[in-house]
Structure 1
Amino acid sequence: MSVNLSSGPGPSEGSTPGPHHDLGEIHNWTELLNFLNHTLSECHVDLNENIKRVVLFVLYLAIFVVGLVENLLVICVNWRHSGQTGLLNLYIFNMAVADLCIILSLPVWMLEVTLDYTWLWGSFFCRFTNYFYLANMYSSIFFLMCLSVDRYVTVTCHSPIWQCHQHRIRRAVCAGVWFLAAIMPLPEVVHIQLLEGSEPLCIFLPLETYNTWTQVVSLSTTILGFLLPFPFIAIFNVLLACRLRRQGQSEGWRYSLLVCGYITVFVICWLPYHVTLLMLTVQGIYTSLPCYLAHLLYFYYDIIDCFAMLHCVANPILYNFLSPAFRSRLRSVVVHYLPKDQARAGAQASSSSSTQHSIVITKEGSPLTLANAHPLPNPNSQMSSGPPTLDSAIA
């Protein structure tokens, strides 16, 4: 039996036929699955495809609405304050762009699910839509990995060379990530085809060397999308949290909790997807899964893949909205676009709150002053030349 292999959400998430099958009698996605899963006919599993399509549509819609608002806010705030915030926000900005691109592809998958995976947009968009999704999926994960490493380097590295050239290095890294993400989906996309019929299907269809290509694509997706970035994300975040706690930083415990959130969310979003993908890859090539389990994996694969896209909703919350600095910048953007009277009242309220905060901070020191609410220099600024501190790592 051939393997169920994904090339993105929706159409390419299903079994793919071997090279000797006659595809002329296949007219829709349900018939294709029945045709491909003939070896699973030993057991009968009563699963309702209509309920599955409704659940998928609702999940796609919820992720689309929430993710669109969140990532647009992140992009708007970081773009407006690009000259005032730290260079680490360059990774956050690019990650939000990648997540937004994934979100913008969801209406295609939503409509396709509603039409029982019938593809309406022709052969070119069959490949391009899957390529667009995969490229942005890889870039989002890699920017998250780069952010985790750079946060640790920013706090621990005191080299003058790094301090002078860190902005160039980060920009070069971002350009490299986009380049790698652009070429990595190609081995999979070249085998995505439009299966013609009364109801066309867009699927992964490597007819001549199916087993070889499915193994290569599945393993490369798991290695590049999970096994490679996850250790970097986990190890460097844990190292940074331990270092901050050893130094007695007041934000050390808070960052430790954030690290737990970073790791947990990444595992919840991506581990079920890659485990399922690998199980379906080995099914029929190296071993045969129990019939009932194989049926469940094929049925729930689309939903598991949909849950993987929750990272587009979780990333803005973990890396932006939980940051006091980001919330402050967001309030300033909101005040800027309010009508004049409301903006003036909001500015006065913010000024009053800031003044009171300054009194509380400086009252503990010897002089009482309202001149500066930030007793430590802000190394996040491009103009800063002082040693890196916690602000540049987690602001």
Structure 2
Amino acid sequence: MSVTASMESGLSMGVTAGPARDTGEIHNWTELLYFFNHTMPECHIELSENTKRVALFVLYLAIFVVGLVENLLVICVNWRCSGQVGLLRLYILNMAIADLGMILSLPVWMLEVTLDYTWLWGSFSCRFTHYFYFANMYSSIFFLVCLSIDRYITLTNASPSWQCRQLRVRRAVCAGVWVLSAIIPLPEVVHIQLVESSEPMCLFMAPFETYSIWALIVTLSTTVLGFLLPFFLITVFNVLTACRLRRAGRPESRRLCLLVCSYMAVFVICWLPYQLTLLLLSLHGTHISLHCYLAHLLYFFYDVIDCFSMLHCVVNPILYNFLSPGFRGQLLRAVVHYLPKVQARTGRRASSSSSSTQHSIIITKEGTLPQPPTHPSLNFQAPNTSPIPVPQPLIAS
């Protein structure tokens, strides 16, 4: 699913071909294989490709099933409640759509791995599938950044002008994120081609004399735009949010801070191994020299690490939706809505009786702003200011 994935695909075949020309473009599969194979030092490690393919298929399948169900539920519930007041619901909804887009591309990667990287779906799908995956990957990451920034702004800014403009601003930001995410993958996707050989493969095929430069540019742009910059912004604004919560001095502030820290931890755990492996393999051979066994291990386990990064599509719905009693209450009401009338009345009575203790209740007076919802573990408001809306991921809504 990237430059390094294409290189790993060629290396996994274990083919040694004749030398390619020092100048000019790569014109055939033999020259490309020679370039790939000769970037690796000669050493031998007994690693089972068949075992890796089986493990990858199982991992992809589990992530696909769980992620599909979770993100569809998030989209359905948030879309059904879109007319209600939802502080950061728009970012969460768009992030779930982006995660769902990544999940929908998994069957293709599962089949490609099972078929030993053979591509059977034509030239157009070769490029489009990669483009679709990358565009949704960047969108999901960028919406996490927007969520972190907007959460802090909403916590600290109680001005009426912001409350009047925040919906329009968020819609514009979401549109901008989708446009930016659609542009960023283009430099890589234009060089992805279907290589016709005994077994067709979908590979990154930049001109030979500039291949290493193109690979490094694409890798650095992915690392900077897809990890370093988002991680910096997510960390800064989540730390500021946690500090603001601690200053509130409430008993539940510690638990709120732990929740905010979990947002950063999940992002690092999911993306750091992938980005670090991608960067090391792109630099290897032309800019740095990795130990023989380390290089082989990184190439071998690259697909596994890439698959592991997809776990964020499973964890995000839990962190930003299912941990919220408000979301669980909305999900329950959505389910009850489609039950028979007798069961629906029973469900509504149960939901109504439990809402007084589990779900937040907003009571407003005429001419005043709504008070922040109350929840035993997820509740805060800005001190010394008029009541302001509280970010959805931190409270029940």
Which TM bucket (shorter chain)? 0.7 to 0.9
Whether the 8 Å contact between 1:11 and 1:119 is mirrored in structure 2 is no
Change in Cα spacing, 1:387 to 1:12, as seen in structure 2 (3 Å) is farther
Give 1:375 deviation, angstroms. Answer: 4.9
Give 1:33 deviation, angstroms. Answer: 6.8
User: What is residue 307 of structure 1 aligned with on the other side?
Assistant: 308
User: What is residue 102 of structure 1 aligned with on the other side?
Assistant: 102
Whether the 8 Å contact between 1:103 and 1:312 is mirrored in structure 2 is yes
Give 1:12 deviation, angstroms. Answer: 6.8
User: What is residue 238 of structure 1 aligned with on the other side?
Assistant: 239
Q: Report Cα offsets for 1:181-204 as digits up to 9, x if no partner.
A: 000000000110111012100011
How many Å separate the matches in 2 of 1:79 and 1:48? Answer: 45
Deviates more, 1:323-332 or 1:183-192: 323-332
1:60 is paired with a residue whose SS is helix
User: What is residue 324 of structure 1 aligned with on the other side?
Assistant: 325
- Residue 2 of structure 2 corresponds to residue 6 of structure 1: yes
Change in Cα spacing, 1:13 to 1:88, as seen in structure 2 (3 Å) is farther
How many Å separate the matches in 1 of 2:187 and 2:176? Answer: 19
Give 1:152 deviation, angstroms. Answer: 0.2
Aligned ranges for residues 375-394 of structure 1 at < 5 Å? 375=363, 377-378=370-371, 387-390=387-390, 394=394
1:226 is paired with a residue whose SS is helix
User: What is residue 56 of structure 1 aligned with on the other side?
Assistant: 56
1:272 is paired with a residue whose SS is helix
Give 1:388 deviation, angstroms. Answer: 1.5
1:120 is paired with a residue whose SS is coil
How many Å separate the matches in 2 of 1:152 and 1:56? Answer: 38
Whether the 8 Å contact between 2:59 and 2:307 is mirrored in structure 1 is yes
How many Å separate the matches in 2 of 1:181 and 1:55? Answer: 31
Gapped regions of structure 1 (runs ≥ 5)? 27-31, 362-371, 381-385
Whether the 8 Å contact between 2:145 and 2:233 is mirrored in structure 1 is yes
Aligned length: 367
- Residue 37 of structure 2 corresponds to residue 37 of structure 1: yes
Whether the 8 Å contact between 1:12 and 1:202 is mirrored in structure 2 is no
Gapped regions of structure 2 (runs ≥ 5)? 12-16, 365-369, 374-385
Q: Report Cα offsets for 1:243-302 as digits up to 9, x if no partner.
A: 122112454222211122111111111000111111011101112211111100110001
Change in Cα spacing, 1:15 to 1:6, as seen in structure 2 (3 Å) is farther
Aligned ranges for residues 139-218 of structure 1 at < 5 Å? 139-208=139-208, 209-218=210-219
Deviates more, 1:54-63 or 1:157-166: 157-166
Change in Cα spacing, 1:160 to 1:24, as seen in structure 2 (3 Å) is closer
Change in Cα spacing, 1:70 to 1:218, as seen in structure 2 (3 Å) is same
Q: Report Cα offsets for 1:131-152 as digits up to 9, x if no partner.
A: 0000000000000000000000
Paired amino acid for 1:140 = S
TM-score, length-normalised on structure 1? 0.86
Whether the 8 Å contact between 1:273 and 1:304 is mirrored in structure 2 is yes
How many Å separate the matches in 2 of 1:274 and 1:292? Answer: 20
Deviates more, 1:199-208 or 1:312-321: 199-208
1:40 is paired with a residue whose SS is coil
Q: Report Cα offsets for 1:118-140 as digits up to 9, x if no partner.
A: 00111111000000000000000
1:193 is paired with a residue whose SS is strand
Paired amino acid for 1:158 = A
Give 1:172 deviation, angstroms. Answer: 0.3
User: What is residue 290 of structure 1 aligned with on the other side?
Assistant: 291
How many Å separate the matches in 2 of 1:285 and 1:11? Answer: 17
Whether the 8 Å contact between 1:378 and 1:391 is mirrored in structure 2 is no
Paired amino acid for 1:6 = S
Whether the 8 Å contact between 2:20 and 2:35 is mirrored in structure 1 is no
Change in Cα spacing, 1:313 to 1:113, as seen in structure 2 (3 Å) is same
How many Å separate the matches in 1 of 2:69 and 2:393? Answer: 25
How many Å separate the matches in 1 of 2:180 and 2:391? Answer: 30
Change in Cα spacing, 1:212 to 1:221, as seen in structure 2 (3 Å) is same
Paired amino acid for 2:339 = L
2:69 is paired with a residue whose SS is helix
- Residue 110 of structure 2 corresponds to residue 122 of structure 1: no
Report the RMSD for the aligned CA atoms in angstroms: 2.6
Change in Cα spacing, 1:392 to 1:97, as seen in structure 2 (3 Å) is closer
Identity among equivalent pairs (%): 66
Paired amino acid for 2:2 = S
Paired amino acid for 2:265 = T
User: What is residue 366 of structure 1 aligned with on the other side?
Assistant: none
Give 1:373 deviation, angstroms. Answer: 4.4
Give 1:242 deviation, angstroms. Answer: 1.6
Change in Cα spacing, 1:43 to 1:305, as seen in structure 2 (3 Å) is same
Whether the 8 Å contact between 1:11 and 1:117 is mirrored in structure 2 is no
Paired amino acid for 2:167 = H
Change in Cα spacing, 1:339 to 1:207, as seen in structure 2 (3 Å) is same
